[in-house]
């Protein structure tokens, strides 16, 4: 277990983890604007599986427009009645929205001093919100940075049971083009995090 940093200085590898959580959250919270698409197009990659998925996303970001990505986002997550995917923990874990996983999350949010933004009306167990919470816990946005054990507990309760399944669905969704490599990146990242927490707890 790592010590909690009282001055909110965190290790470089933790800052990189938080950045990736925040980046995925931004892509999944709402359609990315021109600035975020441009930032994506400027990213660099390597030959790792994660890097190769980023390389695909970079190519798509260079070729797309905000309007095209917005149409894709709406088809995937909003739709006329509902989108192709329902990105909520309760739905993936129980088959219904607003179920026990959401109640458990709200209790854990209160324990960590996390509150929902006043302009957000959808359930807190949305994938984008959960990724943002993980980033905030790592960086210390809700108080001192969370210990590795606290991060592990939150991840194992609220992301590990379903997030990899969601990202797999996103990668293979009929409407996914720009979001297909986003799904691949999320799937790989969740695997990395799960394994790191497992090894860190040994």
Percent of the chain with pLDDT over 70: 95
pLDDT at residue number 5: 40
Nearest to 88 by CA among 114, 127, 121, 118: 127
Dihedral pair phi/psi, residue 38, rounded to 5°:
-65, -40
pTM value surpassing 0.95: no
pLDDT at residue number 132: 97
Task: Name the band, by pLDDT with cuts 50, 70 and 90, for residue 7.
Answer: low
SS3 state of residue 48: coil
Take residue 103 and report the two structure tokens written for it. Answer: 């109640």
CA distance 52 to 156: 27
Q: Does domain 12-200 have CATH number 1.10.3480.10?
A: yes
Q: Annotate 113-144 with three-state secondary structure.
A: CCCCCCCCCCCCCEHHHHHHHHHHHHHCCCCC
CA distance 93 to 45: 33
Rounded alpha-carbon distances, angstroms, from residue 50 to 44, 60, 126: 11, 16, 23
């Amino acid at each position: 277990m790592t010590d909690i940093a009282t001055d909110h200085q965190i290790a470089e590898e933790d800052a990189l983890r938080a950045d990736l959580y925040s980046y995925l959250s931004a892509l999944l919270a709402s359609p990315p604007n021109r600035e975020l698409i441009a930032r994506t197009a400027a990213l660099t990659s390597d030959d790792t599986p994660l890097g190769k998925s980023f390389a695909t996303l970079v190519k798509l970001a260079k070729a797309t427009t905000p309007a095209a990505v917005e149409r894709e986002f709406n088809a995937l997550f909003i739709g006329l009645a509902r989108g192709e995917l329902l990105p909520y923990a309760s739905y993936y874990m129980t088959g219904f929205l607003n179920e026990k996983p959401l109640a458990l999350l709200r209790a854990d949010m209160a324990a960590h001093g996390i509150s929902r933004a006043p302009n957000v009306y959808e359930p807190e167990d949305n994938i984008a919100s959960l990724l943002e919470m993980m980033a905030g816990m790592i960086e210390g946005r809700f108080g001192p940075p969370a210990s590795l054990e606290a991060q592990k507990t939150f991840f194992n309760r609220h992301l590990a049971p379903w997030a990899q399944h969601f990202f797999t669905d996103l990668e293979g969704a009929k409407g996914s083009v720009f979001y297909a490599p986003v799904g691949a990146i999320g799937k790989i990242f969740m695997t990395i995090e799960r394994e790191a927490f497992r090894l860190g707890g040994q």
